[in-house]
Structure 1
C-alpha cells in the first residue's frame, strides 16, 4: 500500500469516534478537540467549568448555611434552592442545545477534514 494512503487512513476522522466523544465527553467539548475546533472546545470546557463551579459553590454554601443558621427562614431557603436549580437548568439546557447543534455538524466537519487531508497528501483539489 502506498505510504500516502497509509497516512491518510491513520489521520482521517470518523463519525463514530466524534459521536462517541460527543455522547461521553461532550459536556467538556472533547468532540470539538477531535474535530480540530479548539476555540469551540475551549468555550464548552470553560462553560462547563464555570457552571459546575457555580453549582458546587451554591451547594456548599447552601449546605453550610442550612447547618449553621436556620434563622433565614423558609423564604431564604426557597430563594437559595431556586438559584441552585436555575443554574442547573441553564447548564443542562445550554449544554444539550450546544451538543445537538454540534451533532448535526459532525458529518460535514469530518467530510471537510478528510477532503482537505486527501488534497494535502495526494495533491488533488
Structure 2
C-alpha cells in the first residue's frame, strides 16, 4: 500500500471474469449456500425469473479481494455493504474503491460492485489501517 494515501485516491479496479454456472456451483460448495435460486434454473423460472443469479455474498467476497489486493488482510478493520441489485448470470462485475477520508491512522473508503450496463449491485464502506509510522493527513 502506498504510504502517501490521500482522500480521493482510487484503488486499482478488480475486473471479475464472467459469472458462470460453474462459478455459482463452486461458490455454493465453498460457502455452503445452496439456495436453489442461485443454481437451479427450474427453481429460478418458477419464481418468475429468466435464469439463476449470483449470490450477493459472492460479490461481497470480490470486494474483499479488491481490498486484499490493495493491503494485507490483517489491515482491514471493517467492510460493510448494502445489496442494491442482483448480479445476473454471465455478468462481468467490476469492484472499485475510493478513499474518502484519512482518520486515526486509517483510510475510510467507499466501495462498489458495478456491471457493464452501469448497474451497481453492491455499495458499501471499508476501513483499512494505514502502514505504521505514517503521519495523519488531518
Higher strand share: 2
Structure 2 length-normalised TM:
0.24
Larger radius of gyration: 1
Q: TM-score, normalised by structure 1?
A: 0.26
| Larger relative helix fraction | 1
Higher relative contact order (CA 8 A, sep 6+): 1
